[in-house]
Amino acid sequence: MLLSLINSHLPSPHLTDHHHTSPSSSLVAHTSPLASASPPMAIASGTGCCRGRRLLLLAAALLLSAASPARAFYLPGVAPRDFQKDDELQVKVNKLSSTKTQLPYDYYFLDYCKPEAIKNSAENLGEVLRGDRIENSVYNFKMRRDETCKVVCRSKLSPEAAKNFKEKIDDEYRVNMILDNLPVVVPRQTREGSQTPSFEHGYRVGYKLKDDKYYINNHLSFKVLYHEDPNSPDARIVGFHVIPSSIKHEYSAWDDKNPTVQTCNANNKITPGSHTPQDVVPEAYVVFSYDVTFEASEIIWASRWDVYLLSSDSQIHWFSIINSLMIVLFLSGMVAMIMMRTLYKDIANYNQLDNQDEAQEETGWKLVHGDVFRPPVHSGLLCVYVGTGVQFFGMTLVTMMFALLGFLSPANRGGLMTAMVLLWVFMGVLAGYTSSRLYKMFKGTEWKKITLKTAFMFPGIIFALFFFLNALIWGEKSSGAVPFGTMFALFLLWFGISVPLVFVGSFLGFKQPAIEDPVKTNKIPRQIPEQAWYLQPAFSILAGGILPFGAVFIELFFILTSIWLNQFYYIFGFLFIVFIILIVTCAEITIVLCYFQLCSEDYHWWWRAYLTAGSSALYLFAYAIFYFFNKLEITKLVSGILYFGYMLIISYAFFVLTGTIGFYACFWFVRKIYASVKID
């Protein structure tokens, strides 16, 4: 069912007028780490081989394809769109975006040429949350028919319009356009010695010179690359480039029905460098024009997204993984030493003792067997956070699996965000089940209260922060503000689906028999001896978060760059490997520190285990502060509040995820070792 939900947001061949439902909205080659091998269905369902061998093949495919180019395969219902000569091509406009303000605006917020009727393309939930506003435009081409010096309209800049243009030029806003689901790119100058061309996403609204004058890019030179089918007259669009320029068009008399300008030469072409740029001044008339040329290309349709996803940083990703694996190996060695030598030796010694008096002479983790399973303070709150963490873990794992299979490629705008929201909602059943099972183990009886807290605490905090940030965006009149209708849809998903599913899961969990402790708990709590400074809760918790963060911080850089610098993130193969390393690191560091804590006769491990791994979120937020001051150029107060607000939400979610992983690792470890000891 989840597959069908996610697939419902993929392109459909029956909706050809949609910006991302065009049949050309296919799986991107680089977004599919499995594509370099045979299709995933063939790997997963191969007959005649054992299950372990299939899993080994799958793991090998993931590892090999994480850094290598892949051949694309088509998903069901997705196919390229073919165009014949003179077929109509409609350019659609998306939001105006800036990395300096992080506040997107609708394209028609500025006084650009408008079509007779502005039509909004249907958007999925993820697109709205991203701030995408995709609409039709006045730029319409005929397939493989070049046009030069085509005038689209003349606009008179009011004082307010001129002010808006100047503000957007100051903030380095870029215009984003789409043709056949391909975003427009601006070619950069290739560095000396580099064979690979580079591109910028979108073109600048305008520029400002040292004389403090502002100039608008009112002439666009488009280039459409197409790949011909040798066996038919059809062609497929594989590239969409633009070079913007500022031209103060000259004309004698203006005719709205048949506008002509004298800026073009006898061949009806714009001569570069022979014109005056169009400055932005109130009451000035600005003429908008464009050229379009079509050029045959050797790029095949399956590789047309390569210019957007091209990355020379694969070595950095491998370095990140090797660095993380070193941490995992170090921790694994410590865990193996504890489990194989110390623990087995302890258990053998404890089980050979003849009487209880001899046991009292021993020191170590066995002495707290009568208190180690004593319910912690605020046990209900711990159940809520563990349940929420399981919900988040399920959402993350399933989302990543779909991304690995290519269902959430960048070609499917908003697909990743939509999938995460829907999966979070449906994973509510896991949250309810987990929290109620744990609560029943603590001998709690008010399962309905715990269920309500599970359903509302984490989403409520996130929604309160989100609502505050959305109000700030509304105040800036940005298109990034979530509309009322979408806000209502989110409420409906939360209250109509997520909350009932949490109750269903909680009911099922509470009906299960309680988890039995391996040893009995004493009625009177044991006194905890004074702890060494390095075993104090604050120090051990903060120290425990360093290694999980260290395992992921290099990949975190690329994720933050994708979010805040308008880049596409597509290397889900690397991300999945790093996620596995994060799970192992969180589990192992928590087990090691938990063992040291129990050996010092401190049995308050429940919350300590959760906070030890969860403290990595503090380092994540600290890194976000470093990233803000070293990588971003945000100057506006509202933009800074938005950045830190959203990073706070991400850090909070990371805390819940890693804390739950650490808690369950420690929970398994404690039950395992105390079940191995004979207790009178």
Judge whether residue 149 has pLDDT over 90: no
Nearest CA among 166, 249, 245 for reference residue 212: 166
Q: Cα–Cα distance between 469 and 478 in angstroms, integer?
A: 12
Q: What is the pLDDT of residues 502-521, one digit of tens each?
A: 999 999 998 888 888 888 87
Q: Cα–Cα distance between 598 and 586 in angstroms, integer?
A: 18
356 membership: H or E segment, kind and range: helix 356-361
> Of how many residues is the chain composed?
680
Q: Is residue 55 part of a domain?
A: no
Residue in this structure with the two tokens 């350019």, named with its chain if needed: 91
Q: Cα–Cα distance between 577 and 392 in angstroms, integer?
A: 18
Q: Can you tell me whether residue 391 is helix, strand or coil?
A: helix
Same domain, 275 and 413: no
Nearest CA among 294, 349, 369 for reference residue 521: 369
* Span 188-217, average pLDDT: 80
Same domain, 208 and 248: yes
pLDDT at 271: 56
* Span 170-174, average pLDDT: 93
Residues 6+ away with beta carbon under 8 Å from 345 = none
Stronger pLDDT, 40 or 122, i.e. the higher one: 122
Q: Is residue 208 part of a domain?
A: yes
Q: Is residue 33 part of a domain?
A: no
| Sign of the alpha-carbon torsion through 651, 656, 657, 663 | positive
pLDDT at 56: 41
Q: What is the mean pLDDT of the chain?
A: 80
Same domain, 620 and 660: yes
Judge whether residue 99 has pLDDT over 70: yes
How many beta carbons lie within 10 A of that of residue 154, not counting itself?
A: 17
Judge whether residue 354 has pLDDT over 80: no
* Span 115-131, average pLDDT: 82
Q: Cα–Cα distance between 102 and 565 in angstroms, integer?
A: 9
pLDDT at 55: 41
Same domain, 585 and 674: yes
Same domain, 338 and 436: no
Among the three residues 463, 498, 514, which one is the final residue of a domain in this structure? 514
Same domain, 271 and 200: yes
Same domain, 171 and 254: yes
Judge whether residue 33 has pLDDT over 50: no
Q: Is residue 467 part of a domain?
A: yes
Domain enclosing residue 276, as ranges: 87-189+196-309
**How many helical (H) and strand (E) elements, i.e. helices and strands, does the chain have?**
21, 13
Q: In the structure, what pLDDT confidence band is assigned to residue 195 with cuts at 50, 70 and 90?
A: low
Q: What is the pLDDT of residues 572-601, one digit of tens each?
A: 888 888 899 899 989 989 998 998 888 888
Residues 6+ away with beta carbon under 8 Å from 256 = 154
* Span 461-473, average pLDDT: 93
Q: What is the pLDDT of residues 328-342, one digit of tens each?
A: 788 777 777 776 766
Same domain, 477 and 570: no
Q: Cα–Cα distance between 482 and 463 in angstroms, integer?
A: 12
Q: Are 387 and 462 in contact (CB under 8 A)?
A: no
Judge whether residue 82 has pLDDT over 80: yes
Residue 351: both structure tokens together: 């089980």
| Least confidently predicted of 61-70, 153-162, 588-597, 630-639 | 61-70
Q: Is residue 320 part of a domain?
A: no
Q: Can you tell me whether residue 207 is helix, strand or coil?
A: strand
Identity of the amino acid at 287: V
Q: In the structure, what pLDDT confidence band is assigned to residue 14 with cuts at 50, 70 and 90?
A: very low
Q: Cα–Cα distance between 576 and 570 in angstroms, integer?
A: 11
Judge whether residue 4 has pLDDT over 60: no
Stronger pLDDT, 115 or 343, i.e. the higher one: 115
pLDDT at 335: 74
Residue 284: both structure tokens together: 């000035």
Q: Cα–Cα distance between 85 and 221 in angstroms, integer?
A: 20
Structural domain count, the chain: 3
Q: Cα–Cα distance between 569 and 210 in angstroms, integer?
A: 36
Q: Is residue 7 part of a domain?
A: no
Residue 216: both structure tokens together: 């608008």
pTM: 0.81
Q: Is residue 216 part of a domain?
A: yes
Q: What are phi and psi of 204, to 5 degrees?
A: -70, 145
Among the three residues 471, 487, 514, which one is the final residue of a domain in this structure? 514
Q: Can you tell me whether residue 552 is helix, strand or coil?
A: helix
> What does each C-alpha distance from 445 to 82, 127, 469, 519 come to in angstroms?
63, 43, 38, 22
Q: Is residue 143 part of a domain?
A: yes
56 φψ region: left (φ > 0), alpha (ψ -120 to 50), beta (else): alpha
57 burial via Cβ count (<10 Å: 0-12, 13-18, 19+): middle
Q: Cα–Cα distance between 304 and 72 in angstroms, integer?
A: 11
pLDDT at 274: 60
Q: Can you tell me whether residue 187 is helix, strand or coil?
A: strand
Judge whether residue 97 has pLDDT over 90: yes
Same domain, 580 and 621: yes
Q: Can you spell out the DSSP letters for 294-342?
A: EEE-S--GGGTTHHHH--S-HHHHHHHHHHHHHHHHHHHHHHHHIIIII
Same domain, 98 and 155: yes
Same domain, 571 and 639: yes
Q: What is the pLDDT of residues 666-680, one digit of tens each?
A: 999 989 888 877 665
Same domain, 241 and 387: no
Q: Are 413 and 131 in contact (CB under 8 A)?
A: no
pLDDT at 194: 57
